[in-house]
A and B are shown apart, each in its own frame.
Chain A
Amino acid sequence: MIRAALAGNPNCGKTTLFNKLTGSSQRVGNWPGVTIDRKEGRIKGADAILVDLPGIYSLSPYSPEEIVSRDFLLDESPDVIVNIVDATNMERNLYLTSQILDVGIPTVVALNMMDAVRKDGGEIDTVKLSSALGCRVVGMSALKGEGIEELIAAITEAAASGKVPEPLRLSEAAEASASRISEVLRGKVPDGQIRWYSVKALERDPLALERTGDLEGEILHIVEEMERETDDDSDSVVASDRYSAVSRAAASSTGKRGASKGRTTSDRIDRIVTDRWLGLPIFAGVMFLVYYISISTIGSWGTDWMNDVFFGEWIIPGMRAWLEGASVDPVLTAFIVDGLIAGFGAVIGFLPQMLVLFVLLVILEDCGYMARIAFVMDRVFRRFGLSGKSFIPVLIGTGCGVPGIMASRTIESERDRRITAMTTTFIPCSAKLPVIALIAGALFGGSALVALASYLVGIAAILMSGIILKKWKSLAGAPSEFIMELPAYHMPGAVTVFRSTLEKTWAFVRKAGTFILLACGLVWFLSTFSWNMVLVEDVNTSMLADMGRALSWMFVPLGWGGDWQFTVGTLTGLLAKENVVGTFGVLFGFSEVSEAGEEIWTMVAAMLTPIAGFSFLLFNLLCAPCFAAIGAMRRELGTWKATGAAVLYQCGLAYAVSLIVFQIGSLAIYGTFGVWTAVSLAVAALLVYLVVSNDPFRMSARRSGEVAC
């Protein structure tokens, strides 16, 4: 059985190629960092296993991804390395190739995105490139499935021949020093890896030097001699030599015309969408359009049909009539119709809006626009002391907070990583969207601006937290460097869009059928019986009402503590955020209002003013996430103490923001002024102070950053 490793730069189509070669359907993200850990699959039609490694720019041990990839290649010695190279950005990608060729393992270069090169009028001679690199080069397009068979054949052939490629030649001085180091290392490291260790030791690579044991002094003597001779740092000399070598190899294969002719269509679009001034307004406009289509128009029509016709005319009356006709016990009938179906139906009613939203977000991601958002937001994030790398988890967190939090582990700086894990869930995940849609529909006429405002508040909370938390000693420090490739724009693939949308939709339905269904059954039970297990006539005398009232006083200053149902909704939201809507479905009688042809949100509208509703929405968006996300935070933060502190911070910030919005909003709209208005002004002043006050660690962080550079 052949064991092949797939290595390449981030976002060069590695996961797409992995899926094509293995026939699997791993998550493909059009931004870097999707592959955090390595994964394996069997190559279709070949007796071979393919290991997909995280995307890396080099084999230097600077990031967790680089260490995972490097350790695998050196310690587990695969039979073949499949090095995927983005043909539209060949020189940059070949830098990694130049290091892979040193490892002493048969290598095949998969020159991906050849279709994009051809489309831009460029051409690459794979035979010439193959001869320049000393290994087989296969031109292909993973997205379109071109060249896959040829690549599989090349992998099998390379493994069978066992032919190790010749490393790219460095400058005379570097080659001479590497050769001397090789002599020192002979017998101390595996023969096949002597070239790798020699060059890495020449670069003063700490992990390579560590493995040389007591020979380190002798090796460093050779390195210093070369540095004196070249009057430069050894790692700079080697990096420069590598770039010269890959540049020569690239030039030999592209001829005079180059890989593409000048500015591409992607470059022209990027000039506008990543513009310093236009980038953010365009992002806001795009997101508004997305929410306008999904929440206010097309998606809303579907949701109305689901509520009015599907549940209102078919499911609920049909089920009730059937159960009553069969003489089923009225309490069991009520449990099924008013508890399970009402709660499940209230959440599933939002499925059409979610479906349209998922389609649009998948299209934005697949065409390459989301990667631009990360680039645009990097500029903003850095200004607030956070790394642009923190925005990738946030982007992933728009789907689900759990993988969003997990994605924070790609950030090298521990402080940035901790802040990102603590703040990623401020961005509304798909589970919070039904809550947004409910409040928007109930109190704001279904306006898409509510959804847009929710996202902007989420981003603002992340930025504000970045500033505030960096002033704590344990979280202070300079932001990590962020480098990412911007993939060329392309038409979204119908299969990718369909599959990703289906996966997200199925995840939504599955959650409704498990967490939501069970929680709604429990909510119905607690809201139907009193403490002595007697059926209650009035829901306000139920066990649940007592439980809600025990805590609802806390939320009176936020404008929605007067009715215990909202407190219960917030608490059940800790299990899964969709539960807020499911709980309302049970407590506000979704089954009855639907049958009467009304929307569930008419009940909500009767109990809340718009400003109180917005305050409720903000609290639920910013407070502690669901238990699953809290568990993910615990894994990333390491201790329950740190996790508890993070949850407290989230709830505190949510409370402060909701208090300010409700109290100052009420003052502005209704002219009401009370004790809590004064408190909210004080809280607002405190937040402003925390944001603008001097950062005691800023200078030291900068200094350490300068030293690190």
Chain B
Amino acid sequence: MLNAATAAVATATACVLTVSAYFMIRSLRKGGCSGCRNCEGCRRR
């Protein structure tokens, strides 16, 4: 049986990982952009 603390921490962790995955996928869709502003990608924005 999960206690309330475990459920809350698990939810928070899942949120953090989802946000992290969102930014990772967004970066991959931009060709693995690390935001270093060296290439055209950043200049066009």
Q: Which A positions have Cβ atoms within 8 angstroms of B?
A: 25-27, 29, 34-37, 39, 323, 326-329, 332, 335-336, 340, 396, 399-400, 402-404, 406-407, 503-504, 506-507, 510-511, 513-515, 517-518, 521, 626-629, 631-632, 635
Given contacts A323-B9, A329-B6, A517-B17, contact A511 B34 (CB under 8 A): yes
Query: In the complex the two chains form, is B9's CB within 8 Å of A402's CB?
Result: no
Query: In the complex the two chains form, is B34's CB within 8 Å of A332's CB?
Result: no
Given contacts A327-B3, A518-B24, contact A403 B38 (CB under 8 A): yes
Q: When the two chains form the complex, which single residue of B3, B9, B13, B38 contacts A399, counting CB atoms closer than 8 Å?
A: B38
Given contacts A26-B43, A329-B6, contact A514 B24 (CB under 8 A): yes
Q: When the two chains form the complex, which single residue of A399, A507, A517 contacts B20, counting CB atoms closer than 8 Å?
A: A517
Query: In the complex the two chains form, is A328's CB within 8 Å of B20's CB?
Result: no
What CA separation (Å) do A340 and B20 show in the bound complex? 12
Q: Which of B3, B31, B32 has the most CB of A within 10 A?
A: B32
Given contacts A37-B40, A332-B10, A402-B34, contact A510 B28 (CB under 8 A): no
Q: Which of A396, A402, A404 has the most CB of B within 10 A?
A: A402
Given contacts A323-B9, A631-B31, contact A399 B36 (CB under 8 A): yes
Total residue contacts A-B, CB cutoff 8 A: 106
Query: In the complex the two chains form, is A400's CB within 8 Å of B36's CB?
Result: yes
What CA separation (Å) do A511 and B44 show in the bound complex? 21
Given contacts A39-B43, A406-B40, contact A328 B24 (CB under 8 A): no
The main secondary structure of chain A at its interface with chain B is helix
What CA separation (Å) do A35 and B44 show in the bound complex? 11
A329: which B residues are within 8 A, CB to CB?
2-3, 6, 10
Query: In the complex the two chains form, is B31's CB within 8 Å of A632's CB?
Result: yes
A407: which B residues are within 8 A, CB to CB?
38-39
A504: which B residues are within 8 A, CB to CB?
36
A34: which B residues are within 8 A, CB to CB?
38
Closest to B25 in A: A514
Query: In the complex the two chains form, is A39's CB within 8 Å of B36's CB?
Result: no
The main secondary structure of chain B at its interface with chain A is helix
What CA separation (Å) do A328 and B10 show in the bound complex? 9
CB distance from B37 to the nearest CB of A (A): 4
What CA separation (Å) do A25 and B45 show in the bound complex? 11
What CA separation (Å) do A329 and B17 show in the bound complex? 18
CB distance from B23 to the nearest CB of A (A): 5
Query: In the complex the two chains form, is A400's CB within 8 Å of B43's CB?
Result: no
Query: In the complex the two chains form, is B38's CB within 8 Å of A27's CB?
Result: yes
A628: which B residues are within 8 A, CB to CB?
27-28, 31-34
CB distance from B8 to the nearest CB of A (A): 9
Residue B15 at the A interface, CB < 8 A?
Answer: no
B34: which A residues are within 8 A, CB to CB?
400, 402, 507, 510-511, 628
Query: In the complex the two chains form, is B24's CB within 8 Å of A503's CB?
Result: no
Q: When the two chains form the complex, which single residue of A29, A36, A514 contacts B23, counting CB atoms closer than 8 Å?
A: A514
Given contacts A399-B36, A400-B38, A503-B36, contact A518 B20 (CB under 8 A): yes
Given contacts A26-B43, A513-B20, contact A631 B32 (CB under 8 A): yes
The 3 closest A-B pairs by CB, nearest first: A628-B32, A403-B38, A403-B39
What CA separation (Å) do A157 and B19 show in the bound complex? 49
A406: which B residues are within 8 A, CB to CB?
39-40
B24: which A residues are within 8 A, CB to CB?
514-515, 518
Query: In the complex the two chains form, is B32's CB within 8 Å of A518's CB?
Result: no
B35: which A residues are within 8 A, CB to CB?
503, 506-507, 510
CB distance from B22 to the nearest CB of A (A): 9
Q: When the two chains form the complex, which single residue of B6, B17, B43 contacts A332, counting CB atoms closer than 8 Å?
A: B6
Q: Beyond the given A27-B42, A507-B35, A510-B27, please list 14 additional residue pairs across the A-B interface where CB-CB is below 8 A.
A: A29-B38, A327-B6, A336-B13, A399-B36, A399-B38, A402-B31, A407-B39, A511-B34, A513-B23, A514-B20, A518-B20, A627-B28, A628-B28, A631-B31
Q: Which of A36, A403, A503, A506 has the most CB of B within 10 A?
A: A403
Query: In the complex the two chains form, is A39's CB within 8 Å of B32's CB?
Result: no
What CA separation (Å) do A510 and B20 show in the bound complex? 9
B42: which A residues are within 8 A, CB to CB?
26-27
B23: which A residues are within 8 A, CB to CB?
510, 513-514
Query: In the complex the two chains form, is A328's CB within 8 Å of B37's CB?
Result: no
What CA separation (Å) do A399 and B38 show in the bound complex? 9
What CA separation (Å) do A109 and B40 show in the bound complex? 26
CB distance from B12 to the nearest CB of A (A): 9
Query: In the complex the two chains form, is B32's CB within 8 Å of A402's CB?
Result: yes
Query: In the complex the two chains form, is A328's CB within 8 Å of B5's CB?
Result: yes
B16: which A residues are within 8 A, CB to CB?
517
CB distance from A531 to the nearest CB of B (A): 23
Given contacts A328-B9, A332-B6, contact A27 B37 (CB under 8 A): yes
Could you pull out 22 A-B pairs where Cβ atoms are within 8 angstroms?
A27-B36, A36-B39, A39-B40, A323-B9, A327-B5, A328-B6, A329-B2, A332-B9, A332-B13, A400-B38, A402-B32, A402-B34, A403-B36, A407-B38, A510-B27, A518-B21, A626-B32, A627-B28, A628-B27, A629-B32, A632-B32, A635-B31
B44: which A residues are within 8 A, CB to CB?
37, 39
What CA separation (Å) do A39 and B32 show in the bound complex? 21
What CA separation (Å) do A407 and B43 show in the bound complex? 14
What CA separation (Å) do A400 and B10 show in the bound complex? 35
Q: When the two chains form the complex, which single residue of A35, A400, A518 contacts B17, counting CB atoms closer than 8 Å?
A: A518
CB distance from B32 to the nearest CB of A (A): 2
Query: In the complex the two chains form, is B33's CB within 8 Å of A37's CB?
Result: no
Closest to B10 in A: A332
Query: In the complex the two chains form, is A336's CB within 8 Å of B9's CB?
Result: yes
Q: Which of B3, B10, B27, B36 has the most CB of A within 10 A?
A: B36
What CA separation (Å) do A507 and B37 show in the bound complex? 10
A332: which B residues are within 8 A, CB to CB?
6, 9-10, 13
What CA separation (Å) do A204 and B3 show in the bound complex? 82
Q: Which of B10, B23, B37 has the most CB of A within 10 A?
A: B37
What CA separation (Å) do A506 and B37 show in the bound complex? 11
What CA separation (Å) do A39 and B37 show in the bound complex? 13
A323: which B residues are within 8 A, CB to CB?
9
B32: which A residues are within 8 A, CB to CB?
402, 626-629, 631-632
Closest to A402 in B: B32
What CA separation (Å) do A515 and B34 show in the bound complex? 11
A37: which B residues are within 8 A, CB to CB?
40, 43-44
Closest to A39 in B: B43
What CA separation (Å) do A511 and B24 show in the bound complex? 8
B27: which A residues are within 8 A, CB to CB?
510, 514-515, 628
What CA separation (Å) do A105 and B11 show in the bound complex? 62
What CA separation (Å) do A245 and B17 show in the bound complex? 65
B21: which A residues are within 8 A, CB to CB?
514, 518
A635: which B residues are within 8 A, CB to CB?
31
CB distance from A559 to the nearest CB of B (A): 31
Query: In the complex the two chains form, is B39's CB within 8 Å of A26's CB?
Result: no
